[in-house]
Amino acid sequence: MTDRPQIVTDLGSVDSLLDDWRALTARAARSGLESPDWLLPLARRYLAADAPRFLAWRDGGGQLVGVAPLSLLADRPRWRPLRQLYWWGTSGPRMRGLVDVVATDSARGEVLDSLCDWLRTDQEWELLRILRPQVGSPTPARLRAEARRAGWSYAGFHNPVRSTTYQLDVPDSAEGWQRHLGSKTRKVMRWEVRKFADFRGGRLEAAVEEAALPEALNSVEALLRDRWGEAEVYFRVDPRFRQLINESIPLMARHGSAWVSVARDDEGIHGVLVSLAQNGYAMALMVAMTTDPAYRPFSLGKHLFDLGIGEAVARGCHVYDFLWVGGYKESFWHAVPRELESAMVGRGVVGRTAAALLARRESGFRR
């Protein structure tokens, strides 16, 4: 592997790496949010005002073996900007975190060592933000060790809302998935599906065709607005999020890293689940359900997750991540709560002070 990374400093030039980046994440990523078909459209919409620092590593044969999609932000206060490095996907829309260094297994150690070398020699940054990389990521531990060695501060923090993710280790076959919930539960679920078909002419689709994606994605927004009204947080306050979803999800579906499950009848779509996957790691990006009480007896949300997870099994995934919401994800689906580590790494007096203060704020401490 080359000792130093290629450093790309404009978004337009990242496009030239797209095919190689896509191939790398398909075999080495650990989160659906690490897909370039998610991150590059996100960067164009949310991060264009900041300075890209996209690091790419290749082996001796020229094959891409590692990437770190970073940006540099000169933040407030104006009289003394705080120069922050952050991973794409940790800033922008509310879907944040689960983005990390992506590297092949054989190159990951060297890539992390090279990243630390670059951080030591690069003089632009004072604060590095690490936000919820995937469970088991070696990146926080490696940066913690480097901070001790280099005299930086490493301030870990636990966000009380979104530092626990709920993951299901899925079976390796469709038969195993059918057995996961037990025969009595499956019997009730079959009855609910029949009643949905008999009374409403309803049907469930595990993964809609690409041509049907715009309708399904528009339904996500409509259902969320109906459910939450003025409290809806994704689309209502952020028009760019609609653009991101409608560009990224079809791109990801085209390359096999996203699928959309729906419950519909002749009146329209009444439930949508958007799932992402990379390298065997699947996740629920968004779920939206009707509030019409006439559909409550059919438990459509439960069936959409059953379809979405079943599709993940069919695609060879070994983990399905429900993200931040527990409750019946634990009691019904038997998902396991797992902790995600976040941290602020500070360099210099300003950076170290800011790291401590920001970590305390993120952890929910108040004066």
In this structure, the answer to whether residues 68 and 203 fall within a common structural domain is no
In this structure, the answer to whether residues 334 and 185 fall within a common structural domain is yes
Q: Is the pLDDT of residue 326 over 80?
A: no
In this structure, the answer to whether residues 216 and 90 fall within a common structural domain is no
Per-residue pLDDT reduced to its tens digit, 179-204: 999 999 999 999 999 999 998 999 99
Q: Is the pLDDT of residue 47 over 80?
A: yes
Per-residue pLDDT reduced to its tens digit, 49-82: 899 999 999 998 899 999 999 999 876 556 667 8
In this structure, the answer to whether residues 83 and 121 fall within a common structural domain is yes
Q: What are phi and psi of 275, to 5 degrees?
A: -115, 145
In this structure, the answer to whether residues 283 and 351 fall within a common structural domain is no
33, part of any domain: yes
pLDDT value at position 76? 58
Q: Residue 302 belongs to a domain with what CATH number?
A: 3.40.630.30
pLDDT value at position 361? 84
Integer CA distances (angstroms), 105 to 111, 127, 129, 352, 354, in order? 10, 28, 24, 32, 34
In this structure, the answer to whether residues 331 and 346 fall within a common structural domain is no
Question: What's the number of domains the chain is made of?
Answer: 2
Closest by CA position to 224, among listed 170, 272, 177: 272
200, part of any domain: yes
Phi-psi region for residue 229, left (φ > 0), alpha (ψ -120 to 50) or beta? Answer: left
Average pLDDT over residues 238-253: 96
Mean per-residue pLDDT of the chain = 92
1, part of any domain: no
Closest by CA position to 186, among listed 332, 55, 25: 332
| 139-150 helix and 108-121 helix, angle to the nearest 10 degrees | 40
Paired sense of beta strands 281-289 and 319-321, if any? parallel
In this structure, the answer to whether residues 66 and 126 fall within a common structural domain is yes
Look up the domain containing 69 and give its range: 6-160+340-362
Average pLDDT over residues 222-235: 93
174, part of any domain: yes
In this structure, the answer to whether residues 239 and 177 fall within a common structural domain is yes
367, part of any domain: no
What's the half-sphere exposure (Cβ side, CA atoms, 13 Å) at 38?
Answer: 29
348, part of any domain: yes
Q: Is the pLDDT of residue 353 over 70?
A: yes
Element (H, E) at 262: strand 258-265
In this structure, the answer to whether residues 128 and 179 fall within a common structural domain is no
Phi-psi region for residue 98, left (φ > 0), alpha (ψ -120 to 50) or beta? Answer: left
In this structure, the answer to whether residues 264 and 358 fall within a common structural domain is no
In this structure, the answer to whether residues 154 and 277 fall within a common structural domain is no
pLDDT value at position 79? 63
Strands (E), 39-126: 51-58, 64-75, 82-87, 102-103
Structure tokens at 349: 């007096």
pLDDT value at position 366? 42
In this structure, the answer to whether residues 48 and 171 fall within a common structural domain is no
